[in-house]
Amino acid sequence: MEKLQYISQGKTPDEHLYNIIKVCKAGGKWIQLRLKDVDLATSINTAIRCREICDQFGAIMIVNDKVDVAKIVGADGVHLGLQDMNPKDARNVLGDNFIIGGTANTVDHCLQHSEAGVNYIGLGPFRFTTTKKELSPVLGIEGYEQILKELKNNIVNVPIVAVGGIKQEDIDILMRIGISGVAVSGMLTKDENLKERINTIKNTLNS
């Protein structure tokens, strides 16, 4: 699994795609298309174009929330929020070869996802972020440490990806406490020196 995941941002579907191309060109290899409040046709059309971009750059393509869209466009996987389809049901729809990720904010969420057979868990938010409208309680380093400890006690081996307002300076400590990777949005969307930024993040994640 790629340790650096990019969650797309933009005011319009075209802006999402523009930012995805930028990240892919700069070396991003895991893209989550996170389109909100658009109709099904727009979702599908944007996802088809996202699939083409990811294929061009050899990147993994994940669709946020929409299992039907992920299946139609042949995405590599789907990321499910707590209010979305149950991962077990999504697995029945998509089959064994799709990557399924799930959002979590507590130990119980993680245990539920693990039991449902997800491939990774997006645990967060790490700190306050404006990217999400309805934000779960912020975890911080102490929250992550506590949850990781309890998961270890429950012998849960699903990769845990930190998400939510993560900055460059957080990555080193997150990796040291046992996080498997980070999912970022604004950090890459807004960066002017994107190639340099991605290389720095990857070096920190792999050191």
Question: Can you tell me the distance from the alpha carbon of 70 to that of 78, in angstroms, rounded to the nearest whole number?
Answer: 6
Region 62-79: mean pLDDT is: 98
Q: How far apart are CA 20 and CA 8, in angstroms?
A: 6
Chain Cα centroid distance, residue 151 = 20
7-43, pLDDT tens digit by residue?
999 999 999 999 999 999 999 999 999 999 999 999 9
Predicted pLDDT of residue 191: 87
Over residues 85-126, the pLDDT tens digits come to 999 999 999 999 999 999 999 999 999 999 999 999 999 999
**What is the pLDDT at residue 141?**
96
Query: Which is nearest to 159 in space by CA: 122, 185, 184?
Result: 122
How would residue 192 be classed by pLDDT, with cut points 50, 70 and 90?
confident
Average pLDDT of the residues of the chain:
96
What's the average model confidence in pLDDT over 158-179? 97
Q: Is the pLDDT assigned to residue 207 strictly greater than 90?
A: no
pLDDT confidence band for 132 (50 / 70 / 90):
low
Work out the average pLDDT over 35-55.
Answer: 97
- Mean pLDDT in residue range 179-206: 95
pLDDT score, position 5? 98
Q: DSSP of 133-186, one letter per residue?
A: SSPPPP-HHHHHHHHHHHHHHTT----EEEESS--HHHHHHHHHTT--EEEESH
Instruction: Select from 206, 200, 204, 192 the least CA-distant residue to 22.
Output: 192
**Look-up: residue for tokens 């900055």?**
167
pTM of the predicted model, to two decimals? 0.96
- Tell me the three state secondary structure of residue 96: coil
Residue ranges and CATH numbers for the domains of the chain are: 4-206 (3.20.20.70)
Encode 6-72 in three state secondary structure: EECCCCCHHHHHHHHHHHHHCCCCEEEECCCCCCHHHHHHHHHHHHHHHHHHCCEEEEECCHHHHHH
Percent of the chain topping pLDDT 90: 93
